[in-house]
Structures are given as structure tokens and as C-alpha cells.
Structure 1
Amino acid sequence: MLYLDHAATTPVRPEVLEAMRPYLVGMHGNPSSHHSAGEQAARALERARERVAASLGMRTSEVIFTSGGTEANNLAVKGIVLAALAEDAQRRALVTTPIEHDSVLQSAAYLHRLHGVAVRMLAVDGHGAVGADDLAAALDERPTALVSIGHANNEVGTVQEIGSLVAVAREHGVPMHVDAVQSAGRVDLRGLGADAVTIAGHKLGTPKGIGALAVRSRVPLEPLLHGGGQERGRRSGTENVAGAVALAAALELADAERAQHASRVASQTSAFIDAVSDAVPQAALTGAPEHRLPGLASFTFAGTAGEAVLLELERRGVISSSGSACAAGSDEPSPVLIALGIPAEIAQTSVRFSFGRSPLPDGAPAQLAAVVAEAVRAVSAT
């Protein structure tokens, strides 16, 4: 079985498992405890924090370990906006886009519903890109507490020109949060320049249940979890030491391997896109043709049903998805594809292929495209 749903989650890497194993079976101390076992755990936690901070281009003290990307996005969006409201009640606005992960969009909806925050949705073009001029116009309209825009979209793979967007936010004195869950490990994040960055370990080869939010020290943050004051008071709860070690190890491996693997994976993805476009007449690539994540290709297949194509692909030994795993099972067309201007009946035919860090064998993109063509023909014939 060929697993092509790495955008949803990745297998745990053996090297990561080995790095975290001592903190699962032997070194089990609580990092808040003031004895040798606790101090040993605290040292491991801080070493992991240093390594994560280095990968993100942030200070060690700015990294907050969380249970994953969803919690980190909630903490960023709610925490920064609530802190801003406490300082200046006039900064009652949040700017984001309709193609963000649900953890961002539902956090924005919460702030609107319970705190009267005005949520401005920036339009995206047909590839899913945000314009810097549109962001500037939105920030000119009213005092804003936060801009939250994802680095790379998890359904279509479009990578935003984050540098230009960060520059606009900075000119207006507004902090910017970047959800980098999909891009972490695949793209160098050290030069983003954002004020807050979210990552999740299970997209990088760690077990599920660990993530991080890095927030510049100058940005006030209201904690959402209260208790023992862990993570410098910004996220209470006993830290997942083994998970933090795993996240640091996965990021280090990804950073070391990126130059070696990224160009080949991108080349093979481009070959796959071309082969599918040639083999399947109704195939239409979604997202940006060039500024996209290496290893992600999403298509619509007009005249089919995306879920039926997925079943046919799995019968032929290929596991893929119809988009975000968080929206799996929904009968509604993808809001991301609708925001790109794709009609609902076409959006429901989408299939996403997301490759892992290891390149496919030579010739595999064409062979895989032939399997896709067979699956689409089987569905079209029914």
C-alpha cells in the first residue's frame, strides 16, 4: 500500500522514537519537581526548546510547547487578541482568510461571538494567494489586534508570500501569526519574521500530541490554560517532555535533510502533476502551479465524486485524501476550494496527494498517474 496522505499525518520516524524513548521508559520525572529526576527532565525540556527555537529563528524563551497545532493556533489567536483588548479596547479587529485551518477560523468565530471582535476575511485569488495591498487596505480600516495567515495551505499547497505580508503588518504596528503546521520541515522557517508561529510534530514524524507556538517576547499573550504556571505562565499543565524531545529531533532531521530531499520531491511532484494532467482529461490542478509545497498535489476530477475516486485508489493500493483530515466525512464542499472560486459541484470531486520526505523510485510518478487515471475512469463509468 502506497501512503500518500502525509499532509494529514506522517509515520513516526525511527530516529525520533529513539530520541524520545528514554523519557518514556526511564527518565520519567516531572520537570517542575525540585529533585534530581525532575531536574533531569527539566534539562531535557530546555534542550528541546533551544533546538526548536533555532529551527524557527526565535529565542529559546519564546517557545511554548502545546499538545499540537490546534491548541497552538487557539493560543495564538485568542491569546494575542485577548491580551490586546485588555491593553486597548479599541483594537477590536482580527484579520485572517477563509482558507485557514478550522482551529484559526473557529477561534476567530469565538472572539466575535463572545468578545465582539470584528473578523475581516481577506479574499484570496484563484490559486489561494493573499495580496499585500489587500492586507494593507484592511489594516487601514480600523485598529487591529492580530493578523493570522497560514504559511502553506493544507488542501491545495499554496505557499503565501509571507515576507511581504509580515512587512505590511509591521508597518501598521499589528502582530502577525503564521500557521506553519504544513510548511515546517519542508520550508526553512527561520526567515519568516512573523511575531507568532505554530507547528505540529505529527506532520514531521513525531507521535501525535505535541506541537509548539513561538511568540515574540514583545507580543503580550493571554494564557488560555490556568493552573501550575508552566511554560513561563503562558500554558499551564505538566509538559510532555518526551514529546518535546521528539519535536526537536524531528525538526533537526528535517532541517538537515531539506536540501537533499526537497528539490527531488518537488521535481517528482511536478512530474506527477504533468502525468496526471496528460492521463486524465478532466483533471484540474488546484492551488498555485509554482509557489506550492514540495510533495503536495491536489486535483479536481469533473464528472466524478472525490470520495468514490479515493475508494478506487485504495483498491489499487494508493491511500490519499479529499482534503483536510479535520473535515473528513463532511458532505459539504471544501470551503478552501469555494474560496478559490471553484464551483461546489467541482469542489466535491477533489483528491489530494501528499508525498513523504523520501522520494519515489524513478518512473513512479508516471506509474502512479496511470493508477489515478484507472480509478477516475472506473468512477466515471458507473
Structure 2
Amino acid sequence: MSLAQQWAEARPKVAGLHLDSGACSRQSLAVIDAVTAHARHEAEVGGYVAAEAAAPVLEAGRVAIAALTGLRTSDVVYTTGSNDSLDLLLGSWAGERTLACLPGEFGPNLAIMAANGFAVRALPVDGNGRVVVDDAAAQLCADPPALVHFTALASHRGIAQPLAAMVAVCRAAGVPIVVDAAQAFGHLDCAVGADAIYSSSRKWLAGPRGVGFLAVRPELLAQLQRRVPPADWNVPMTVLQSFENGEHNAATRLGYSVAIGEHLAAGPELIRARLAELGRTARQVLAEVPGWRVVEPVDEPTAITTLEPTDGADPAEVRAWLIAERGIVTTACELARAPFEMTKPVLRISPHVDTTAEDLEQFVEVWQAAP
């Protein structure tokens, strides 16, 4: 059985056509059952007792995250998602609050940086928004910021950033690098030894909403100061432990652990190859549609394809029509998604491994009929 068939058969039948895994993938029946069973167990024995019983599965999830990020199991904590992870990390930073990031940085990330008092400067990029590694190395050596925040794969443009090369550049410059892997985790190779890395569950790993992870190397952790409880309180709790010291949905963490296990069982390299194949196919069949421009190069190794209107179409209206009239789910990216880079809204498709060439051809046919 092919990877695409395995993926499809493990999930409820889709109602229409799902081309929106960059926003929220479809959970498997096993993940749904794990979340449901834990909720039932909480009702039977109490939430805290049920959480203790789930500890081995949650630890297995940490082990899997460590394997996929190149960090240690003890470096990993669960969070409520990517925004929470970044806020926890930046809010605990004890040093100078300067940061370098890509011009196409995710808008909500920029808001979190601003809320935590970070002054932001741009890394050098080419015409596709991809970092120019040599220029970035020179910039970091000449005027190093306290941190580099590096979004390995943006949500408004399917351009794979040279993650491993940037990690090496930052290490040589002595600047810690924090990686936003919200779109990259489970999509690109993230096991490159970043100083910190975080992601959400609901995208390419196809876990539940409202859960994610943050992994931080001890060397970077030593530069953080516990916020809650305050650092000067005599409480035996590390900074990393404090990140998990709040109310959380244990059932979704359990579901995430199951989803990561499914990802490893399917084969991360096979999944990455299949996603890259789908991206190439999508760009080929979408390239000739009048009134739109495919943003990414055909051979970009990602499944995200961005469609920029050239004749005045409104991506938000097109998305709404596709859902209402055909049950096809896509994403409309407004300027706020990348306010320092985007100049017009775009439509994005992000198929997962169960999408077929026939599905993409069906999308093209319907999409051309959209008002």
C-alpha cells in the first residue's frame, strides 16, 4: 500500500477536497481515539490521575520530538502552540533585546517580538525571500544581534530556507538561533541542531489544535530567567519546567504524541519526498491558469504553492466560494501575515501526502470557474 493510501485510510473520509494542511491537517482516527479515550479516562479517575497514567506516552512524544529536531529529550517541553512557545522564550530572555529575522517574518511573531521589547532588524534575502547565507554571515559578524529568529518555511510563500547553513553561520558568529518550525516540522529536515526550535501540532504532523512544543539547548537555557514563579522566589523549578507549569489540555498532548509516532512510523524522509513531489505537480498544473501567478519555483522542495492574482481577483472571496460551492479548503493570506514583505493578498494551497494528481486537476478546473 502506498504512503498516500495509508494516510487516507487512517483518516475519516474528507468532505470535499482538503488543500490546507499548512493551516490545519486532518487528524487520524488513532489520534482522535487517543484524545477521546483520555477525556473519558479523566471522567473515570480524575484529570490528574489520568495525566499521570498518560506520562509514558507523553514522554515518548518528547523522545520523538527530540529525534526530529536534533536536540535531547530533556530539552523538550509541550506548549499550547507556536505563538505560546515564542512568547515563553522571548519573555524569559535575560539579555539585550535585539533580534535579526527575515523580512518575510510571520506577522504574529513580529507582534510577540514587539510585545516583549525586541528591536528587530532584517536579514539579507534574494528576490524569492530566501536568505543570502554569505551576506547574513557577514552581517552577523559585523553587528551581531542578541538572537536570530529564523522561520525555516513561511506560511505565505513555500520557499524552503537553508536551515542547516544558517545554524552553522549563527554558531560561527556566536549568535543563538531560534527556529520557527511551524511550517517546517514534518515537512523539511529540522534535525540540524538549532539552539531553540518550536512548532505547532496541527499542521504537517496532523495532530490536534491547541498544542505544540518548544525545545531549548542548555546553553541557551542558561541565558533565560524564570518569569513565573518570579526568579527570586525560592521555588525548586527550572525555567524549562516553568514553561509547562500551567493549565493545559492533556488529551491534546497525548494526541500529538500519537501523531508524531505515526509520522515516524510512516517515514519522515518518505513524507518529505512525497510533499516535494506534490509541490512540483501542483506548480506545473497551476502555472498556466490565466489571472494568477505561481510564486514558487517549480522544483522548490515544499508542498506549499502560493498563487498571486494578476487580474484583480480577491483571494479571500475565492477561498470562501471554493468552500461554500465545492467543499475545497485553501488559505487566503492577507498582508498582515507578512507585513514587511507582502504587497498583495495571495491564495495558498498546501496538500498533504494523500492528495492525488487527480485532486489537483480537479482543483484547477473548479478554481478557474470561481468568480
Q: Distance in 2 between matches of 1:56 and 1:281?
A: 41
Paired residue type of 2:193: G
Change (3 A) 1:241 1:335: closer
Matched, 1:153 2:154: yes
Equivalents in 2 of 1:53, 1:209: separation in Å? 20
Whole-Å separation in 2 of the counterparts to 1:4 and 1:358: 10
Distance 1:92 1:118 in 2: 6
**Residue 370 of structure 1 corresponds to which residue in structure 2?**
365
Among 240, 252, 255, the alignment partner of 2:261 is 252
Matches within 5 A, 1:351-370: 351-360=347-356, 362-370=357-365
- 1:223-302 aligned at under 5 Å gives the runs 223-226=226-229, 229=237, 232-257=241-266, 258-278=268-288, 280-293=289-302, 295-302=303-310
Calculate the TM-score normalised by the size of structure 1. Answer: 0.80
2:98 pairs with one of 90, 93, 106: 93
Structure 1, gaps ≥5 residues long: 86-90, 328-332
TM-score where L is the length of structure 2? 0.82
Unaligned runs of 5+ in 2: 1-15
Q: Please state how far the C-alpha of 1:65 moved relative to its aligned partner.
A: 1.0
TM-fit CA distance, 1:181: 0.9
The residue type equivalent to 1:271 in the other structure is T
Count of residues in Structure 1 that have an aligned counterpart in Structure 2: 342
CA deviations 1:347-379 (Å, max 9, x no partner) are 23x21111123132x53323321222222xxx3
Contact 2:41 2:50 in 1 (8 A): no
- Conservation of the 8 A alpha-carbon contact between 1:166 and 1:194: yes
Q: What CA distance in whole angstroms lies between the structure 1 residues aligned with 2:131 and 2:227?
A: 29
Q: Report matched runs for 1:1-382 at 5 Å.
A: 1-26=16-41, 39-79=52-92, 82-83=93-94, 85=95, 91-112=96-117, 117-190=118-191, 192-203=192-203, 204-219=205-220, 220=222, 221-226=224-229, 229=237, 232-257=241-266, 258-278=268-288, 280-293=289-302, 295-303=303-311, 304-314=313-323, 315-323=325-333, 333=335, 336=338, 339=341, 344=343, 347-348=344-345, 350-360=346-356, 362-375=357-370, 379=371
Compute the displacement of 1:260 (Å): 4.0
Q: Which letter does structure 1 place at the counterpart of 2:330?
A: S
Q: Alpha carbon RMSD of aligned pairs, Å? A: 2.7
Instruction: Provide the rounded CA distance (Å) in 1 between the counterparts of 2:24 and 2:112.
Output: 22
Which residue in 1 is equivalent to 2:6? Answer: none
Give the residue type in structure 2 aligned to 1:65: Y
Moved more, 235-244 or 175-184: 235-244
- Matched residue SS, 1:233: helix
Secondary structure of the residue aligned to 2:91 is helix
Q: Secondary structure at the match of 1:202?
A: coil
- In the alignment, the residues of structure 1 paired with residue 300 and residue 229 of structure 2 have an alpha-carbon distance, to the nearest angstrom, of 40
Q: Which string of whole-angstrom CA distances, capped at 9 and with x for unpartnered residues, describes residues 203-249 of structure 1?
A: 12222111100001111333454388585234421454322222222
Alpha-carbon distance between aligned partners in 2 of 1:246 and 1:351, rounded to the nearest angstrom: 30
The answer as to whether partners of 1:75 and 1:223 remain within 8 angstroms in 2 is no
Asked if 1 retains the 8 angstrom alpha-carbon contact of 2:187 and 2:271, the reply is no
Partners in 2 of 1:260 and 1:150 — Cα distance? Answer: 23
Residues 235/317 of structure 1: CA separation in 2 closer, same or farther (3 Å cut): closer
Measure how far apart 1:29 and its partner are: 5.7
